[in-house]
Amino acid sequence: MASSIKGSIPKSENAKQCYEAIAQRFKEFEKAVKSTLLNKLIDMKYDGQGCLKAHILNMIDIGTKLQELEMTVYEDMMVHFALNSLPKDFKSLRETYFAQKELWTLNDLIIICVQQEHNIIREIGAKMVNMVQTKQKKENRNNTMIAKGKKPGHMKKECIKYKNWLDKQKTKGIHKEETAKQG
């Protein structure tokens, strides 16, 4: 027996009293463990880091530990705890669940949440790609010197083909205004 436990038990000449004191200490310890696990379960929030499935499985693990400590944790309670732990990106999922008459099992919840997570990731990825493309287009609009159909960095004023075309136009006398702008 650990010395910390021995020190917390009152000394007794009777073995039965000693055993009862030990049992009492472990009951108090069990209450503390129950309280800690329950608070952890209620306060858990998915922050978007890591896998959502792992987050829900971690919550189920805590619920199982509470059941082992003879605390009743129903499956529909676990579904509610899990839904409440999700960020605002999953608001439509929560609303869908509460609007339905049927209850989801934990397995149903995991499947649906993983699908929703993939949809959110896909949407965020599409937004990121659109933001990058929009930014590049704006940069290209500001830099009018990029030749059409050419790579960035291919400047119109430095393009040999453009210079040859411009010289032909000058000899024809057509683009006097454009040369004035270029110069």
| Residue numbers of the domain that contains 156 | 148-177
Based on the domain organization, do 51 and 9 belong to the same domain? yes
Q: Is 155 among the domain residues?
A: yes
Based on the domain organization, do 154 and 132 belong to the same domain? no
Q: Is 183 among the domain residues?
A: no
Based on the domain organization, do 119 and 166 belong to the same domain? no
10 Å Cβ neighbour count for 103?
Answer: 12
Res 147: pLDDT = 52
At 174 the three-state DSSP class reads: coil
Calpha distance 40→55 (Å, rounded): 13
- The pLDDT tens digits for 106-160 are 999 999 999 998 888 888 776 665 555 555 554 555 444 455 555 665 666 677 8
Based on the domain organization, do 94 and 10 belong to the same domain? yes
Q: Answer yes or no: pTM beyond 0.85.
A: no
Calpha distance 109→102 (Å, rounded): 12
Res 142: pLDDT = 47
Q: Is 182 among the domain residues?
A: no
CA distances, 149 to each of 14, 94, 138, 153 (Å): 95, 48, 16, 12
Based on the domain organization, do 89 and 125 belong to the same domain? yes
- Domain count of the chain? 2
Q: Is 71 among the domain residues?
A: yes
10 Å Cβ neighbour count for 48?
Answer: 14
CB 145 within 8 A of CB 157: yes
Res 39: pLDDT = 93
CA distances, 95 to each of 84, 90, 98, 117 (Å): 11, 9, 5, 16
CB 45 within 8 A of CB 85: yes
Based on the domain organization, do 62 and 114 belong to the same domain? yes
Residue scoring higher pLDDT (10 or 117): 117
Tokens of 155: 């400047």
